[in-house]
Structure 1
Amino acid sequence: MFALLHETLTITAPVFCMLLVGVLLRRIGLIDEVFIYSASSLVFNATMPTLLFLGIVEMDPDVPIHPGVLVYLCLASVLGFLFAWGWALRHCPRADRGVYVQGAFRGNNGTVGLALAASLYGSYGLSLGSVMAGAVILFYNGLSSIVLAVYSPTAKTDAWSLCKTILRNPLIIGVLLASPFAWFDIRLPTWLLTSGHYFAQMTMPLALICIGASLSLSSLRRSSELAFSASLMKMVWLPLVSTLGAWLLGFRGADLGVLFLYFASPTASVSFIMARAVNGNHELAAAIVAITTVAAVLTTNIGLFVLQWAGWI
């Protein structure tokens, strides 16, 4: 457990440090609101789609696919989304509902979840985790696009407009463009992949710096109740219910362990980028990312300890 705690800290500490870098840079005046807007736009429209594209294109075609695990992960994600939305309808101001729902159900599976799965289960965890991360990309981005558009002050909410919002989402476009390359095993030139990686590697630093720069004591105070509520749902209630459901359906061992790690991942940093892109409450989104990232160090290790103590993984 000490080794696992160290591994969790190794993964989450750099994320938290980059948030602090953003706070510091904003405090000393090296970046301002104009930079945050421009950098967030660059991440949402270019670097993050490139990162998703490369992740799918370079996915190992020989990775063993577990249909039951993938189906349950997607189903649990949808049900978690619906539960969070139902909760938000009763407990959130209308303007903040989209950001709250996204923060409460969307995990950072591509970074934290995948890294922990690889650490805990080696090559099997990496293979299974990669397939699982690819499976939920469309669900996360599609559902987030819908709920953010519904409560956006500028977006239209009729069925056709929502469909266009989803299809125009750069993250979804990146996934759809990559799918034929992965399906038909089309190899891109090495120089193009290398250039793409140079470009995509800007995604996490820029996104986290923008989140940190948007954090302030006043914004945290304004959004503290909603931010803590969404964080509690993301880090405690949804992982607890989803993992218990997986156990009741017969998942055991590495399959159950990787499912838990994905359910228990902190809120994805791209949730801040998407909230800002639709003129949502990006300060609330930033607070949720920060709180869940810190909480993951505790909740992930407690959850794994309980699962190992019970003999389920």
Structure 2
Amino acid sequence: MTSPLEVAGLRPRVDKALTDFLAGQRDRLLAIDPALAEVAATLTDFVLGGGKRLRPAFGYWGFRGAGGDDTDEVVAALASLELVQASALIHDDLMDRSDTRRGVPSVHRRFAGLHAGQGWRGSADGFGECAAVLLGDLALVWSDELLHTSGMPWPDLARARPVFDAMRTEVTVGQYLDVLTPVTGDTSLERAGKVAQYKAAKYTVERPLLLGAALAGAGPEVSAAYSAFGLPLGEAFQLRDDVLGVFGDPAQTGKPAGDDLREGKRTYLVASAFGVLGAAERAELDAALGDPGLDDAGVQRLRGLIRDCGALAATEARIEELMAGSLDALDRAPIEEEARAVLHRLADAATRRSV
């Protein structure tokens, strides 16, 4: 069966829109200064080098479900979501001090390596960090440009603009809450849920759906149905990501095993463990979380604590609960049947990733 990401030839069409746009941006940068070739190459490699294109897919089928006609212009407009994603990931890797992304050096590590290889002055790590901030910012700037140069009619773009703006604000403040939570020591499920919602859930599913609906000129009934479907699905997607961050295979995740534990992420999974562990084990978990030197044995120990106390099972149950509510809302949504069927499959693809 064809992947839901490939229906209507969507994935290669998104990749083509991104390739064409990035080629134009490369020419612009090289006209400014040849030294910017590495900036252009890095962003091109990062954007085109991986990713499932889930966000454009949800946006596209949100658009089609609301009665929008298939055009290359709408595909280009929704491809802008991949540049928002690139910005978030580049900044996230920097904040988490992650060495790799999708099995290759993260952007700040790539530029640190460039600095060291060229024998430049000053701190290689400092240069890499500065470059990652700026490249993440540039990807966000370019997301705006791709949306507005997509060829979609201006009235459609005007309807979509508030959704796009709200999405980018939400993911940015969600990232802040994500770095705030470990330093305050907040281990509540309430805070973990809010971080999951704003850091990833809304901009992964709900906002792309609403962006597609706005581009199609959908009414409030469709938008409300998309929120009822998209928000719990996005949260389930993030919880699955949290499970993979602790129990996932590095060959699948592209990041070292247990990185979320070394980074001290207070996810729903971790908050669930804090809620049921005894005092001694809770203190052990709290002391080890965020330790960048946590070795493989330490990772295995924390995995055992989280699994054996029932937190992993509780998180899996929460994913199932969220999925049930999401799919029920989708079944009742007043949208086109082809889109409903593909959105069902996209929901499964987003949350059934193997650990």
Shorter-chain TM range is: 0.3 to 0.5
TM-score (norm 2): 0.29
Question: Which has the higher relative contact order, 1 or 2, with Cα contacts under 8 A spaced 6 or more apart?
Answer: 1
